[in-house]
Amino acid sequence: MKIKHYVLALFCLATLAANAQNLPAPDRIKTNQGDLVVQPVTHGSLVLQWNGKTVWVDPYGGATLYTGLAKPDLILITDIHGDHLDLKTLQALPVSGAILVAPQAVVDQLPDPMKAKAVVLANGAKTTQQGLEIAAVPMYNLPETADSRHPKGRGNGYVVRLGNKNVYLSGDTEDIPEMRALKNIDVAFVCMNLPYTMDVDQAASAVLAFKPKMVYPYHYRGQNGLSDVNAFKTKVEAGKQPIEVRLRQWYPKAN
Protein backbone atom coordinates (compact mmCIF):
# COMPACT_ATOMS: atom_id res chain seq x y z
CA MET A 1 0.00 0.00 0.00
CA LYS A 2 2.84 2.38 0.87
CA ILE A 3 4.47 1.66 -2.51
CA LYS A 4 1.17 2.37 -4.25
CA HIS A 5 0.86 5.75 -2.46
CA TYR A 6 4.49 6.56 -3.28
CA VAL A 7 3.96 5.81 -6.97
CA LEU A 8 0.78 7.92 -6.99
CA ALA A 9 2.65 10.83 -5.40
CA LEU A 10 5.40 10.60 -8.01
CA PHE A 11 2.78 10.53 -10.75
CA CYS A 12 1.12 13.68 -9.37
CA LEU A 13 4.45 15.49 -9.15
CA ALA A 14 5.32 14.46 -12.69
CA THR A 15 1.94 15.72 -13.91
CA LEU A 16 2.46 19.08 -12.20
CA ALA A 17 5.93 19.39 -13.72
CA ALA A 18 4.61 18.52 -17.18
CA ASN A 19 1.87 21.12 -16.92
CA ALA A 20 4.31 23.71 -15.60
CA GLN A 21 6.51 23.07 -18.61
CA ASN A 22 3.69 24.24 -20.88
CA LEU A 23 4.12 27.78 -19.51
CA PRO A 24 7.15 29.98 -20.10
CA ALA A 25 9.58 30.37 -17.22
CA PRO A 26 8.52 33.15 -14.84
CA ASP A 27 10.38 36.46 -14.73
CA ARG A 28 11.64 38.04 -11.52
CA ILE A 29 11.70 41.82 -11.05
CA LYS A 30 13.34 43.32 -7.99
CA THR A 31 11.27 45.54 -5.70
CA ASN A 32 12.05 47.12 -2.34
CA GLN A 33 10.25 44.21 -0.65
CA GLY A 34 11.50 41.18 -2.50
CA ASP A 35 11.05 40.00 -6.06
CA LEU A 36 7.92 40.45 -8.13
CA VAL A 37 7.40 37.17 -9.99
CA VAL A 38 5.66 37.47 -13.35
CA GLN A 39 4.18 34.29 -14.82
CA PRO A 40 2.75 34.63 -18.34
CA VAL A 41 -0.12 32.18 -18.83
CA THR A 42 -1.87 32.85 -22.14
CA HIS A 43 -3.22 35.75 -24.21
CA GLY A 44 -4.26 38.39 -21.61
CA SER A 45 -3.82 36.09 -18.63
CA LEU A 46 -0.96 36.23 -16.16
CA VAL A 47 -0.08 35.61 -12.53
CA LEU A 48 1.81 38.05 -10.29
CA GLN A 49 3.40 36.97 -7.01
CA TRP A 50 4.84 39.44 -4.53
CA ASN A 51 5.42 39.58 -0.80
CA GLY A 52 3.38 36.44 -0.11
CA LYS A 53 0.42 37.53 -2.27
CA THR A 54 -0.72 35.98 -5.54
CA VAL A 55 -2.71 37.95 -8.11
CA TRP A 56 -4.40 36.31 -11.10
CA VAL A 57 -5.26 38.57 -14.03
CA ASP A 58 -8.08 37.55 -16.40
CA PRO A 59 -7.79 33.79 -15.80
CA TYR A 60 -8.78 32.17 -19.08
CA GLY A 61 -8.06 29.18 -21.27
CA GLY A 62 -8.95 26.20 -19.09
CA ALA A 63 -8.04 25.07 -15.60
CA THR A 64 -5.15 22.91 -16.82
CA LEU A 65 -3.08 26.01 -17.55
CA TYR A 66 -3.15 26.91 -13.84
CA THR A 67 -2.16 23.48 -12.52
CA GLY A 68 0.72 23.86 -10.09
CA LEU A 69 0.37 27.64 -9.75
CA ALA A 70 -0.30 29.21 -6.35
CA LYS A 71 -3.93 29.83 -5.42
CA PRO A 72 -4.97 33.47 -5.86
CA ASP A 73 -5.46 35.95 -3.05
CA LEU A 74 -6.75 38.48 -5.56
CA ILE A 75 -8.28 38.19 -9.03
CA LEU A 76 -8.47 41.15 -11.42
CA ILE A 77 -10.86 40.96 -14.36
CA THR A 78 -10.86 43.63 -17.01
CA ASP A 79 -13.93 43.04 -19.21
CA ILE A 80 -16.95 40.86 -20.02
CA HIS A 81 -15.57 39.13 -23.11
CA GLY A 82 -14.83 35.43 -22.83
CA ASP A 83 -11.06 35.81 -23.05
CA HIS A 84 -11.21 37.93 -19.86
CA LEU A 85 -14.30 36.78 -17.98
CA ASP A 86 -14.05 33.01 -18.50
CA LEU A 87 -16.59 31.57 -16.05
CA LYS A 88 -15.92 27.98 -17.07
CA THR A 89 -12.26 28.35 -16.14
CA LEU A 90 -12.97 30.34 -12.98
CA GLN A 91 -15.47 27.81 -11.68
CA ALA A 92 -13.01 24.95 -12.24
CA LEU A 93 -10.24 26.62 -10.23
CA PRO A 94 -9.57 27.06 -6.48
CA VAL A 95 -10.69 30.68 -6.32
CA SER A 96 -13.15 30.59 -3.41
CA GLY A 97 -10.63 32.23 -1.05
CA ALA A 98 -9.84 35.11 -3.40
CA ILE A 99 -11.21 38.64 -3.57
CA LEU A 100 -12.29 39.52 -7.09
CA VAL A 101 -11.97 43.09 -8.39
CA ALA A 102 -13.84 43.98 -11.55
CA PRO A 103 -16.05 46.58 -13.24
CA GLN A 104 -19.80 46.47 -12.67
CA ALA A 105 -20.51 44.86 -16.05
CA VAL A 106 -18.34 41.88 -15.04
CA VAL A 107 -19.73 41.55 -11.52
CA ASP A 108 -23.27 41.52 -12.96
CA GLN A 109 -22.39 38.27 -14.78
CA LEU A 110 -20.79 36.44 -11.86
CA PRO A 111 -22.53 33.57 -10.06
CA ASP A 112 -23.78 34.54 -6.61
CA PRO A 113 -20.90 32.99 -4.56
CA MET A 114 -18.32 34.96 -6.59
CA LYS A 115 -20.47 38.07 -6.64
CA ALA A 116 -20.54 38.04 -2.83
CA LYS A 117 -16.74 38.35 -2.72
CA ALA A 118 -16.42 40.84 -5.56
CA VAL A 119 -15.35 44.47 -5.30
CA VAL A 120 -16.78 46.74 -7.99
CA LEU A 121 -14.28 49.29 -9.29
CA ALA A 122 -15.25 51.95 -11.84
CA ASN A 123 -12.89 53.85 -14.12
CA GLY A 124 -10.93 56.35 -12.03
CA ALA A 125 -11.68 54.63 -8.71
CA LYS A 126 -9.15 53.10 -6.32
CA THR A 127 -9.23 50.39 -3.70
CA THR A 128 -6.83 48.55 -1.42
CA GLN A 129 -7.31 44.79 -1.25
CA GLN A 130 -5.03 42.25 0.42
CA GLY A 131 -2.73 45.18 1.19
CA LEU A 132 -2.35 46.04 -2.51
CA GLU A 133 -3.31 49.42 -3.96
CA ILE A 134 -5.34 49.08 -7.15
CA ALA A 135 -6.47 51.88 -9.47
CA ALA A 136 -8.90 51.34 -12.35
CA VAL A 137 -8.09 53.20 -15.56
CA PRO A 138 -10.23 53.40 -18.71
CA MET A 139 -9.87 50.95 -21.59
CA TYR A 140 -11.85 51.48 -24.79
CA ASN A 141 -11.79 51.67 -28.58
CA LEU A 142 -11.41 54.76 -30.73
CA PRO A 143 -13.38 56.37 -32.15
CA GLU A 144 -16.03 56.07 -29.43
CA THR A 145 -19.19 54.72 -31.04
CA ALA A 146 -22.39 53.10 -29.81
CA ASP A 147 -21.42 49.75 -31.37
CA SER A 148 -17.81 49.74 -30.13
CA ARG A 149 -16.40 46.38 -29.09
CA HIS A 150 -15.07 48.09 -25.96
CA PRO A 151 -17.09 51.19 -25.02
CA LYS A 152 -15.62 53.61 -22.53
CA GLY A 153 -16.61 52.89 -18.95
CA ARG A 154 -17.48 49.20 -19.32
CA GLY A 155 -14.06 47.68 -18.74
CA ASN A 156 -11.01 48.45 -16.63
CA GLY A 157 -7.32 48.59 -17.12
CA TYR A 158 -5.49 48.50 -13.79
CA VAL A 159 -2.46 50.01 -12.09
CA VAL A 160 -1.35 47.86 -9.15
CA ARG A 161 1.22 49.03 -6.60
CA LEU A 162 3.59 46.23 -5.58
CA GLY A 163 6.24 47.54 -3.21
CA ASN A 164 7.91 50.40 -5.04
CA LYS A 165 6.68 49.24 -8.46
CA ASN A 166 3.62 50.39 -10.37
CA VAL A 167 2.32 47.66 -12.70
CA TYR A 168 -0.05 48.64 -15.52
CA LEU A 169 -2.40 46.10 -17.12
CA SER A 170 -3.94 47.59 -20.24
CA GLY A 171 -6.86 45.24 -20.80
CA ASP A 172 -8.46 45.69 -24.24
CA THR A 173 -7.80 49.23 -25.36
CA GLU A 174 -6.50 51.45 -28.09
CA ASP A 175 -3.89 54.13 -27.51
CA ILE A 176 -6.32 56.31 -25.60
CA PRO A 177 -5.34 59.63 -23.99
CA GLU A 178 -5.67 58.14 -20.50
CA MET A 179 -3.04 55.52 -21.29
CA ARG A 180 -0.70 57.98 -22.97
CA ALA A 181 -0.94 60.21 -19.87
CA LEU A 182 0.10 57.54 -17.38
CA LYS A 183 3.03 58.48 -15.14
CA ASN A 184 5.62 56.51 -13.17
CA ILE A 185 4.80 53.08 -14.59
CA ASP A 186 7.53 50.55 -13.90
CA VAL A 187 6.07 47.48 -15.63
CA ALA A 188 3.42 47.60 -18.36
CA PHE A 189 1.45 44.85 -20.08
CA VAL A 190 0.17 46.29 -23.35
CA CYS A 191 -2.27 44.68 -25.81
CA MET A 192 -1.94 44.79 -29.60
CA ASN A 193 -4.35 42.79 -31.72
CA LEU A 194 -6.53 43.95 -34.58
CA PRO A 195 -9.41 44.49 -34.97
CA TYR A 196 -10.12 44.34 -31.24
CA THR A 197 -7.55 46.74 -29.76
CA MET A 198 -4.69 48.47 -31.58
CA ASP A 199 -1.95 47.66 -34.02
CA VAL A 200 1.77 47.45 -33.35
CA ASP A 201 2.39 51.05 -34.46
CA GLN A 202 -0.26 52.43 -32.10
CA ALA A 203 1.01 50.33 -29.21
CA ALA A 204 4.61 51.44 -29.74
CA SER A 205 3.56 55.09 -30.03
CA ALA A 206 1.59 54.89 -26.78
CA VAL A 207 4.43 53.18 -24.93
CA LEU A 208 6.86 55.85 -26.09
CA ALA A 209 4.42 58.47 -24.75
CA PHE A 210 3.98 57.11 -21.21
CA LYS A 211 7.48 55.63 -20.96
CA PRO A 212 7.21 52.59 -18.68
CA LYS A 213 10.56 51.29 -17.52
CA MET A 214 9.65 47.83 -18.80
CA VAL A 215 6.94 46.62 -21.18
CA TYR A 216 5.55 43.22 -22.06
CA PRO A 217 3.47 42.94 -25.23
CA TYR A 218 0.59 40.60 -24.39
CA HIS A 219 -2.90 39.89 -25.75
CA TYR A 220 -1.50 39.92 -29.30
CA ARG A 221 -3.61 37.28 -31.06
CA GLY A 222 -6.05 38.81 -33.57
CA GLN A 223 -8.21 37.72 -36.48
CA ASN A 224 -5.17 37.27 -38.72
CA GLY A 225 -2.98 35.45 -36.22
CA LEU A 226 -0.32 36.83 -33.92
CA SER A 227 0.86 40.42 -34.09
CA ASP A 228 4.52 41.03 -34.89
CA VAL A 229 5.88 41.69 -31.41
CA ASN A 230 9.44 41.79 -32.76
CA ALA A 231 8.40 44.77 -34.89
CA PHE A 232 6.89 46.35 -31.76
CA LYS A 233 10.20 45.89 -29.94
CA THR A 234 12.11 47.43 -32.85
CA LYS A 235 9.79 50.46 -32.97
CA VAL A 236 10.03 51.07 -29.23
CA GLU A 237 13.81 50.75 -29.25
CA ALA A 238 14.00 53.15 -32.21
CA GLY A 239 12.40 55.77 -29.95
CA LYS A 240 15.61 55.78 -27.89
CA GLN A 241 13.84 55.86 -24.53
CA PRO A 242 15.06 53.85 -21.51
CA ILE A 243 12.32 51.21 -21.97
CA GLU A 244 13.09 47.52 -21.74
CA VAL A 245 10.88 45.41 -24.02
CA ARG A 246 10.40 41.84 -22.80
CA LEU A 247 9.06 39.32 -25.30
CA ARG A 248 7.62 36.14 -23.81
CA GLN A 249 5.73 33.14 -25.19
CA TRP A 250 2.05 33.86 -24.46
CA TYR A 251 0.66 31.26 -26.86
CA PRO A 252 1.34 27.51 -27.08
CA LYS A 253 3.46 26.75 -30.09
CA ALA A 254 0.80 24.38 -31.36
CA ASN A 255 -1.66 27.29 -31.78
Q: Indicate the domain borders of the chain.
A: 26-245
Quote the pLDDT of residue 6. Answer: 42
**Which pLDDT score is estimated for 59?**
97
DSSP code string of 142-208: SS--TT-SS-TTTEEEEEEEETTEEEEE--S--S-HHHHT--S-SEEEE---TTTS--HHHHHHHHH
Helix, strand or coil for residue 200? helix
Q: What is residue 254's predicted lDDT score, i.e. its pLDDT?
A: 43
The helix or strand, by DSSP H or E, that contains position 41, with its residue range, turns out to be: strand 34-42
What is the rounded CA–CA span in Å between residue 188 and residue 166? Answer: 8
Q: Would you give per-residue pLDDT tens digits along the chain (255 residues)?
A: 444 444 344 334 333 443 444 799 999 999 999 999 999 999 999 999 999 999 999 999 999 999 999 999 999 999 999 999 999 999 999 999 999 999 999 999 999 999 999 999 999 999 999 999 999 999 999 988 777 899 999 999 999 999 999 999 999 999 999 999 999 999 999 999 999 999 999 999 999 999 999 999 999 999 989 999 999 999 999 999 999 999 999 997 644
- Give pTM, 2 decimals: 0.90
Class of domain 26-245: alpha beta
pLDDT of residue 253: 66
Q: Are strands 221-222 and 225-226 parallel, antiparallel or unpaired?
A: antiparallel
Tell me which residue of 63, 64, 27, 35 sits closest to 249, measured CA to CA: 27
Question: How far is residue 96's CA from residue 106's CA, in Å, rounded to a whole number?
Answer: 17
**Phi/psi class of residue 184: alpha, beta or left (left: φ > 0; alpha: ψ in -120 to 50)?**
left
Number of Cβ within 10 Å of residue 190's Cβ equals: 29
Predicted confidence at residue 231, as pLDDT, reads 98
- Can you tell me the distance from the alpha carbon of 211 to that of 183, in angstroms, rounded to the nearest whole number? 8
Quote the pLDDT of residue 147: 77
